[in-house]
Amino acid sequence: MHSIHNKNIIHMTDLDLNKKKVLIRVDFNVPIKNNQILSDDRIQASIPTINFALKKNAKVILMSHIGRPKEGQINHNLSITPIVKYLKKIFHKYNVYFSKSLQHVPIKPGELLILENVRFNIGEKTNDSQLSKKYAELCDIFVMDAFGSAHRKEASTYGVGLYAKIACAGPLLVSEINALTKALQNPQRPMVSIVGGAKISTKFQLLKKLSMISDIVIVGGGIANTFLAIDYNIGKSLHEKKFIPLAKKLRARNNILIPVDSRIGTEFSDKSIAINKKPSEIKENEEIMDIGNKSIKKITQVIQTAKTILWNGPMGVFEFKNFSIGTRKLAKSIAISKAFSIAGGGETINVINMFDIKNNISYISTGGGAFLEFAEGTKLPAIHMLELSKKKHNINNTI
């Protein structure tokens, strides 16, 4: 695993930002409907970094993507404009500007400039060198602080850092990686990992890695169904046939906790009645939509003993009231646990908000894909780029 406690990258907090043009890649990819921000979690997570740079008298420029617009086309529904309004309220003591182009906009120290959605720019997704150079020309210092995009090799997350005079890590990126490293590298034991969600194919590498470093791995959702399908006919339950042989190999490690009973329904709807059944009792027209009562009891007992918890994904179709019990009980037991708990992924954050346990999780990661890839042991492109920049400058940087 790669820790950031080493001196391989430059930290924004160690640099002199006074009067410097500081371009910060933030993660403002938040849900927006009718110009209203539906969740401001990711923006709030970036505020301390922005504040730090403004207080150090920097000329601060922010850039982020939102959604998946078609490059080269302006999509007003995915404009940064609502976020600009939001930030103007937060930073009302400062001058805040908005620029739709990458032409040089003169700003003074202690002022804030926000750029339009980077994905409107042609060449963003392909990490185009011309666009990367344009970004780099805007600044003296490039700060990568968007952990949620750290696994992407794009112009605003990677290319810019290769051409910028200095590329460094922002405080949010550093805290994300330190929290993940703490959970993965030298965890306090017992370590319990929870992997839920629909598809085992998207999380197989993660399961493999976590089964090697965890004491117990709890599986839920469609992922658990693929394990159940090794021995049982599970009706029309969501699972991936192709992955049954691999799931069987993984199960042989003996530390995967597979549900012993399930809540099943006959139709995929919130009106469907939930019936608690053993896997051997499931009929052809039935589908597993949550874990059952005995499984919940087993899981909560395991969580009570944990010293480290890594959580990614729900136990079932938590959006349906009748099938939300397993996920709710899991969430509540993590919330009351004394363990160091780290949670990540979009669905997991929805669960945390739904059951109002935000303040009871030790660390909530802002990254989905980046969280998974880091936990799998993959070196994230953004980290690689920051290491290259450090080598280039060879600035002695200590934590």
Name the DSSP letter for residue 225. H
Question: In this structure, what is the dihedral angle of CA atoms 380, 384, 390, 391, given to the nearest 10 degrees?
Answer: 160
Known binding residues for (2R)-3-phosphoglycerate are 42, 119, 152
CA dist 134 and 61 (Å) reads 13
**CA 160 to each of CA 9, 87, 137, 141, 393: distance values in angstroms, whole numbers, following the listed order:** 16, 24, 9, 10, 16
CA dist 136 and 206 (Å) reads 34
- 233 near 219, Cβ under 8 Å? no
Number of Cα atoms under 13 Å in the Cβ half of residue 287: 15
Instruction: Tokens for 341, please give them.
Output: 């708990």
Instruction: Tokens for 129, please give them.
Output: 């060198």
CA dist 277 and 264 (Å) reads 7
Per DSSP, what are the bridge partners of residue 309? 192, 341
- 28 near 43, Cβ under 8 Å? yes
Known binding residues are 27-29, 42, 65-68, 119, 152, 203, 319, 345-348
Considering only CA atoms, which of 212, 205, 251 is closest in space to residue 228?
251
CA dist 136 and 62 (Å) reads 13
CA dist 241 and 114 (Å) reads 47
Any idea which residues carry the catalytic annotation? Answer: 42, 199, 346, 369
Known binding residues for substrate are 27-29, 42, 65-68, 119, 152
